Amino acid sequence: MASIRPFRPGDEPALADICLKTADAGRDATGVFDDDRIWAEVFVLPYVARHPDLAFVVETDDGRVAGYIVGTPDTQAFEDWFHDEWWPSRNGAWPLPEVERSRQDGTLIYAYGRRGGAEPYGDEYPAHLHIDLLPELQGEGWGRRLIESLVAALRERGVTGLHLAAASENEGALAFYPRVGFTPLESHPGVQAFGMRLS
């Protein structure tokens, strides 16, 4: 039987693989970018580097990590840290594109532009998360349990709200988040944001 446990150092390669295998609106993104590593360096590894205590994984009965949730309690501070510390330590391999010619270019432009205040949800819903499950775990309640684990940890810290964003074409995610307590928020094209009040 699979189970949820806290993130441990050494889980990073598994998290990077899960991120890649689910990054294309829930589908395998292998080969979508010229460099598959970019997905994890933007969307999962910085979270376990800065907030390992707010990361939880699903471990299968054969010892594999097949799902995760990661988060930050303070989006503004996290985005400033990402801009000032994390991304400068990583981006030497990926220069800022002059124009957006591909999805990889778009993600790199996003990464270079991340900073506190760059997105509108952080004031009312200061925490945010990323969650991914391999197909073998989907539809079995693990997503709900991971969110419950993170929400409990955030409430212990006194965090008042949590948000996330999903690609508009990710129909499974758009149906899932309202079922676990999130409310759709006004969003920009191509993305649907959701918020949850924690107090």
Average confidence (pLDDT) over 100-110: 96
pLDDT band at 123 (very low <50, low <70, confident <90, very high): confident
Q: Is the pLDDT of residue 43 over 90?
A: yes
pLDDT band at 189 (very low <50, low <70, confident <90, very high): confident
Amino acid at 39: W
Higher pLDDT residue, 188 or 181? 181
pLDDT band at 93 (very low <50, low <70, confident <90, very high): confident
88 three-class SS: helix
% helix, strand, coil for the chain, step of 5:
40, 20, 35
Share above pLDDT 70 across residues of the chain, in percent, rounded to a whole number: 99
CATH superfamily, domain at 3-197: Gcn5-related N-acetyltransferase (GNAT) (3.40.630.30)
Q: Which of 14-18, 99-103, 122-126, 127-131 has the lowest mean pLDDT?
A: 122-126
DSSP class of 125: S
Q: Is the pLDDT of residue 80 over 80?
A: yes
Cβ–Cβ under 8 Å, residues 76 and 117: yes
Average confidence (pLDDT) over 25-38: 96
Q: Tell me how many degrees the CA angle 79-117-73 measures, rounded to the nearest 5.
A: 50
Q: Is the pLDDT of residue 91 over 80?
A: no
Cβ–Cβ under 8 Å, residues 131 and 165: no
